[in-house]
Amino acid sequence: MHDTQRRSLLKAAAAFGLVGGLGATTPFFAAAAAKIKPAANSALIVVDVQNCFIDGGTLPVKGGAEVVPVINKLAGAFENIVVTQDWHTAGHASFASTHSGKKPFESTKLSYGTQVLWPDHCVQGTEDAALNKDLKLPTAQLIIRKGHHKDMDSYSAFEEADHKTVTGLGGYLKARGIKTVFVTGLATDFCVAWTAMDARKAGFEVYVIEDATRAIDLNGSLAAAWKQMAAKGVKRIQSSDIV
């Protein structure tokens, strides 16, 4: 990644409140000690494992493809699996190209607050927006497509960027009797974190499976995200903790 792009991404992370004020001694929550066997009232959430966020895509997360075999292995332990896709319209409000004079990773003010502007990515119906071909989730029951409203972005699988408009995922899971969710996918410090924290807000017990995620991680954004998740009661575990 070029220095200019890194600086721009840093500004984007700052707009989310994910950087600054964190040293090497920032405490993380401890991983659960006991092995976990997901019950029938548990669900695996696979966040945005799409071509656009993997090397060669329009907005790649370093090492993004590495989560695929981990998630595929985890899937066998779950009766309930939900997949999310970033699913933007052409000319989406979150694209820098939509705003005259703006560049990717700058920000602007929209009706719901500050919006980081991204390169055009995950446009509906394109190969870039498709789920990675190596992702094997034959028992997944639901795909939630987020960010499909042209004038509003959506990082979380539960709520859109105004923090008012729900995607319907919370209602679906509750109707299915789901009590606990395990979150995986891309990227840890953005869509995974927002999904996990909003799941807690919706009343679910929440685990993030760390080695089944990858992060952007610019100047403390990952540490900050973990700290914020911990404050909300999200638990951090590894795929080896699942049996």
pLDDT of residue 163: 92
- E strand segments, 77-121: 81-86, 107-110, 113-116
Tell me the average confidence (pLDDT) per consecutive run of 10 residues in the chain, 243 residues long: 53 54 42 81 98 96 97 98 98 97 94 94 98 96 96 96 95 98 97 98 98 89 96 98 96
Select from 215, 44, 52 the least CA-distant residue to 147.
Answer: 52
Grouping H, G, I as helix, E, B as strand and the rest as coil, residue 127 is: helix
pLDDT of residue 3: 52
Q: Which residue in the list 86, 146, 153, 235 is annotated as catalytic?
A: 146
pLDDT of residue 220: 85
Q: Which residue in the list 120, 189, 191, 235 is annotated as catalytic?
A: 191
Catalytic-residue membership of 189: no
Select from 189, 165, 192 the least CA-distant residue to 111.
Answer: 165
What is the value of pTM for the model shown? 0.87
Instruction: Convert the pLDDT of each residue in 201-224 to its tens digit.
Output: 999 999 999 999 999 887 788 999
Q: H or E segment at 14?
A: helix 3-15
Catalytic-residue membership of 48: yes
pLDDT of residue 22: 40
Instruction: Convert the pLDDT of each residue in 184-199 to its tens digit.
Output: 999 999 999 999 999 9
Catalytic-residue membership of 146: yes
